[in-house]
């Protein structure tokens, strides 16, 4: 006996599927934001605590290079005269870019209670403003801008900024979705497209997480975390 899914059963199934995939999407976005924040915080700590050794080495290398350049300059002046400027120096004056500014200091980690509140509020805002949950291009563009601000505030662990965004959202005009005139079949197509869009974003997040796990500092970050559980401070040793 062949079973056929009625249109009402299909709509019910798709709505349940959307609810599930949206929950997965919000959790994945939060996990991605957490991973990025952890790496940024560890990178700052690493540069602050262990980076000074690299700075000393770089200073020594620069000093050696300076003396070698002076020797080369004196040798060239004996041959070409005192007004001679080496090709390397000409290139440096024209093309060398100034060093990039140091990365901003990450925010101090909040207390456990505040962290829980931040995570809860982030998920609430992400559920409301995630671009992949939009129903039109104009709404998606507006949500993309809002989600960028939400992610920045979450990465900075700024409860103040997240609360300000939430207050602004409460005072905004509620979004409306035009569904009048849609047949059940058209509604099913809309829901199926929504599921596909959410799954594409989940796949993109999965790829981004994989790339983050290959970050050059992640392995050291994990070693430092495990060592701290054993009361060891690798960066200080």
Q: What is the pLDDT of residue 163?
A: 92
Q: Which residue has tokens 């507006």?
A: 142
Q: Residue 10 and residue 119: Cα distance in Å, rounded?
A: 34
Contacts by 186-189 with C-beta closer than 8 Å and gap 24+? 187/11, 188/7, 188/10, 188/11, 188/14
- Cβ proximity of 14 and 185 under 8 Å: no
Residue with the larger pLDDT of the pair 201 and 134: 201
Mean pLDDT of 158-163: 90
129 inside domain: yes
96 inside domain: no
Q: What is the pLDDT of residue 200?
A: 92
Q: Residue 66 and residue 222: Cα distance in Å, rounded?
A: 39
Q: Is 229 exposed, middle or buried (0-12, 13-18, 19+ CB in 10 A)?
A: exposed
What one-character DSSP code corresponds to residue 215?
Answer: S
If pLDDT is split at 50, 70 and 90, which confidence band does 202 have?
A: very high
Mean pLDDT of 8-13: 90
Q: What is the pLDDT of residue 58?
A: 74
- pLDDT of 115-126, one tens digit each? 889 989 998 998
Please measure the distance between the N-terminal and C-terminal CA atoms of the chain and give it in whole angstroms.
72
- Cβ proximity of 32 and 209 under 8 Å: yes
Mean pLDDT of 81-108: 60
3-state helix, strand, coil in the chain (%, to 5): 75, 0, 25
- Cβ proximity of 13 and 187 under 8 Å: no
- Cβ proximity of 235 and 49 under 8 Å: yes
CA dihedral sign, ordered 98, 99, 100, 105: negative
Q: What is the pLDDT of residue 62?
A: 82
136 inside domain: yes
Tokens representing 205 are 């997040």
Q: What is the pLDDT of residue 121?
A: 92
If pLDDT is split at 50, 70 and 90, which confidence band does 226 have?
A: confident
If pLDDT is split at 50, 70 and 90, which confidence band does 86 have?
A: low
Mean pLDDT of 9-13: 90
Please give the tally of structural domains in the chain.
Answer: 1
Query: Length of the chain, please?
Result: 237
Q: In this model, does residue 231 exceed pLDDT 90?
A: no
If pLDDT is split at 50, 70 and 90, which confidence band does 207 have?
A: very high
Residue with the larger pLDDT of the pair 225 and 167: 167
The Cα-based distances of 25 to 130, 148, 149 in angstroms read 9, 16, 18
Q: In this model, does residue 155 exceed pLDDT 80?
A: yes
121 inside domain: yes
> Where in the sequence is the domain holding 167, given as residue range(s)?
7-46+112-171+183-229
User: What kind and span of H or E run contains 65?
Assistant: helix 51-80
176 inside domain: no
24 inside domain: yes
Q: What is the pLDDT of residue 104?
A: 59
Highest mean pLDDT range out of 71-80, 104-113, 128-137, 200-209? Answer: 200-209
Q: In this model, does residue 113 exceed pLDDT 70?
A: yes
Q: What is the pLDDT of residue 199?
A: 92
35 inside domain: yes
- Cβ proximity of 187 and 69 under 8 Å: no
95 inside domain: no
């Amino acid at each position: 006996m062949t079973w056929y899914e009625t249109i009402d059963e299909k709509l019910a199934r798709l709505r349940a599927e959307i609810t599930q995939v949206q929950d997965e999407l919000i959790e994945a976005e939060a996990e991605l934001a957490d991973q990025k924040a952890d790496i940024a915080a560890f990178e700052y700590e690493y540069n602050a605590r262990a980076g000074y050794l690299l700075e000393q080495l770089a200073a020594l290398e620069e000093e050696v290079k300076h003396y070698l350049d002076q020797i080369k300059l004196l040798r060239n002046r004996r041959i070409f005269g005192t007004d001679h400027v080496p090709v390397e120096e000409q290139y440096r004056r024209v093309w060398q870019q100034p060093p990039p500014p140091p990365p901003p200091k990450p925010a101090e980690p909040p207390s456990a209670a505040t962290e829980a509140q931040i995570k809860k509020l982030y998920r609430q805002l992400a559920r409301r403003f995630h671009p992949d949950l939009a129903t039109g291009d104009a709404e998606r563009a507006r949500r993309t801008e809002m989600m960028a601000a939400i992610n920045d505030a979450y990465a900075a662990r700024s409860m103040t900024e997240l609360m300000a965004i939430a207050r602004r959202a409460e005072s905004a005009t509620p979004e409306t979705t035009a569904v009048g005139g849609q047949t059940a079949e058209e509604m099913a197509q809309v829901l199926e497209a929504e599921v596909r869009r959410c799954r594409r974003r989940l796949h993109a997040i999965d790829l981004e997480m994989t790339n983050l796990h290959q970050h050059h500092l992640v392995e050291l970050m994990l070693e430092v975390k495990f060592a701290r559980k054993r009361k060891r401070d690798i960066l200080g040793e």
